[in-house]
């Protein structure tokens, strides 16, 4: 039995204004029963403008989900027009921050150095980073998956002490699987997660790697969640489209919990 508690995270990307967020999280709160979250951690990652609304609702109604952000600055304050400080997120009770999502990397020029700096900024404020890595379709077809993952993991994690590594979340999100309806097979996801865990071992030893949670993301649904979560090294799911509506997201949370029932 693994010592890692699974984490199911809903990345809303640029969907749902704060009113829609309110409805979605309230709906989620009505659906989630104590048994659904007894063995699973859940986080929701709304747009920045929704965070305060979601935080207030979650606290008032004791909804069993953690607050997550989708990105933040690597600096705490300063002339950074349009950026959001990790300090502000921590102040809001944010527990998790997605760092280096492939959309930030490809659309907004976030390079490995920026990912490493942002990850450290999140840690400075005692939040948990969800560090995203993954290969493109072209890299996969050229047999470069492991090389790409190694470069991304080493750039982000090198130099972090074992206790910090053990508390991290890494999300394996193959870019070809994001928003395409074509999820990785459970076996491919498992192979990638095993490889990523071996990289964490390289950086911080077995003790750390045994505790690091590694999520899979890319076209996750209530249907494929069970197969993915049945794999021993897949410790959770980072869900885009299927996290936008409470019924579908609840199905994924329940499928995850069912895999962890002893
Ligand atoms: P989809 O679940 O919509 O494929 O998105 C995955 C993702 O990018 C989550 O961060």
Q: Label each residue of 196-262 as H, E or C.
A: HHHHHHHHHCHHHHHHCEEEEECCCCCCCHHHHHCCCCCCEEEECHHHCCHHHHHHHHHHHHHHCCC
According to the model, what pLDDT value does residue 3 have? 87
User: What's the rounded Cα separation, in Å, for the pair 33 and 12?
Assistant: 22
Residue 84: which of 92, 96, 73, 93 has the closest Cα?
Answer: 73
Q: Is the pLDDT of residue 1 over 60?
A: no
- Asked whether residue 105 is assigned to any structural domain, the reply reads no
Substitution site in 10, 12, 13 for ligand 1 pocket (most atoms within 8 Å of beta carbon): 13
Residue range 81-123, pLDDT digits in tens: 999 999 999 999 999 999 999 999 999 999 999 999 999 999 9
Residue at 41 is within a domain: yes
CA of 79 to the centre of ligand 1 (A): 31
Q: Which domain holds residue 13?
A: 7-94+113-258
- Is 107 a domain residue? no
Whether 104 is in a domain gets the answer no
pTM of this prediction exceeds 0.85:
yes
| 112-155: pLDDT as tens digits | 999 999 999 999 999 999 999 999 999 999 999 999 999 999 99
Distance 103 CA to ligand 1 centre (A): 10
How many domains are there within the chain? 1
Which CATH number does the domain housing residue 239 bear? 3.20.20.70
The reply to whether 153 falls in a domain is yes
Q: Is residue 2 part of a domain?
A: no
Q: Is 33 domain-assigned?
A: yes
Answer yes or no: 101 catalytic: yes
From 16, 45, 71, 101, active-site residue: 101
């Amino acid at each position: 039995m693994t010592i890692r508690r699974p984490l199911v995270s809903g990345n809303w990307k640029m969907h749902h204004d704060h009113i829609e967020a309110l409805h979605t999280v309230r709906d989620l709160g009505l659906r989630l029963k104590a048994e659904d979250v007894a063995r699973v951690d859940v986080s929701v990652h709304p747009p920045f403008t929704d965070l305060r609304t979601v935080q207030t609702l979650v606290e008032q109604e004791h909804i069993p989900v953690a607050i997550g952000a989708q990105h933040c600055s690597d600096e705490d304050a300063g002339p950074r027009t349009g950026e959001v400080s990790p300090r502000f997120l921590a102040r809001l009770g944010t527990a998790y921050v997605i760092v280096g999502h492939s959309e930030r990397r490809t659309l907004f020029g976030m390079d490995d150095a920026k990912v490493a700096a942002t990850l450290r900024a999140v840690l400075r404020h005692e939040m948990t980073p969800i560090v995203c890595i993954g290969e493109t379709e072209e890299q996969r077809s050229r047999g470069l998956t492991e090389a790409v993952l190694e470069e991304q993991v080493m750039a982000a994690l090198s130099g972090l002490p074992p206790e910090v590594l053990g508390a991290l979340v890494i999300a394996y999100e193959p870019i070809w699987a994001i928003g395409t309806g074509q999820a990785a097979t459970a076996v491919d996801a498992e192979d990638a997660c095993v490889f990523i865990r071996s990289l964490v071992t390289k950086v911080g030893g077995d003790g750390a790697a045994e505790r690091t949670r590694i999520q899979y993301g890319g076209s996750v649904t209530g249907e494929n969640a069970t197969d993915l979560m049945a794999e021993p090294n897949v410790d959770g799911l980072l869900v885009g489209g299927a996290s936008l509506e409470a019924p579908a997201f609840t199905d994924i949370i329940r499928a995850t919990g069912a895999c962890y029932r002893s």
